[in-house]
Amino acid sequence: MDLPRSFVIREGDLRILNPFDAEKLAALGRAVKLRPGTSILDLCSGKGELLCTWARDHGTVGTGVDISTAFTAAARERAAALGVADQVRFVHGDAAVFVADQPVDLAACVGATWIGGGVPGTLEILERSLRPGGMLLVGEPYWRLDPPDQETVAACHARSRDEFRDLPGLVGIFQECGWDLVEMVLADQDSWDRYAAAHWLNLRRWLDDNPDDELAGELRRELTEDPVRHVRYQREYLGWGVFALMRR
């Protein structure tokens, strides 16, 4: 059980594996008013930056679960580097079926609602581990502009226009599922650029070092196609944010 090797290559030395920069991640922690001892479950925790920096800055504790062995190892290294290894732990496993041993104050899935087949199913997964009165954090794309055709939809990694909603429509989904939206921090085009462009540099450096690798052809095509796809479609049409929810 692991992610394909291409994911590890693409993310390279990135610590935040979504279109958030360190300032936005810190702003999110402040916005939801974290307190010392707040318990967090982070499903699809990646390299653990959310749990590790919030443990350092706010005194929180928690568990991260991710399917990637490489990302889980990097998260443990990050916890040790920041001196918070006694506050957080990282589990290699399937986030879709993980349930915390004890209900947590905050349950998060930031940018991986595929684990529940979309937002409603992911909210159900997160709520299994949430204490009454606790908070969910969900990271999810939304349409900034209505995509004019299927070419635009596909370039934004959606199977159909209905796979994502516009921002009012996404907020409507939260409400239909019985959750109040109580905070949000949105990515902007600059943070999208920083995330996307970092992939291009990671890919190019890897290709220079591994020209004969079996993945070289696939990743060469990606490096050729993705910059055009990003500037033509993704940065204009696709938004992304993290939304804080409490059960109505």
CATH code for 5-247? 3.40.50.150
pLDDT of residue 25: 97
DSSP 170-205: HHHHHHHTTEEEEEEEE--HHHHHHHHHHHHHHHHH
> What is the average pLDDT score of the chain?
97
pLDDT in tens, 73-93: 999 999 999 999 999 999 999
pLDDT of residue 83: 98
8 Å CB contact between 41 and 100:
yes
Q: Give CA–CA dist 144/116, Å, rounded.
A: 23
Counting residues of the chain whose pLDDT is more than 90, the rounded percentage is 99
Residue with tokens 């993704």: 234
Q: What predicted TM-score, i.e. pTM, was given to this entire model?
A: 0.95
Q: Give CA–CA dist 221/246, Å, rounded.
A: 43
pLDDT in tens, 56-68: 999 999 999 999 9
Calculate mean pLDDT across residues 9-33: 96
State the pairing for strand pair 39-43/104-110.
Answer: parallel
Q: Is the pLDDT of residue 53 over 90?
A: yes
Q: Is the pLDDT of residue 1 over 90?
A: no
Calculate mean pLDDT across residues 125-152: 97
pLDDT in tens, 177-230: 999 999 999 999 999 999 999 999 999 999 999 999 999 999 999 999 999 999
What b/e readout covers 90-106, taking b as 16+ CB neighbours within 10 angstroms?
Answer: bebeebbebebeebbbb
* Rg of the chain in Å (alpha carbons): 18
pLDDT in tens, 4-17: 999 999 999 999 99
Residue 33 pLDDT class (50, 70, 90 cuts): very high
pLDDT of residue 2: 87
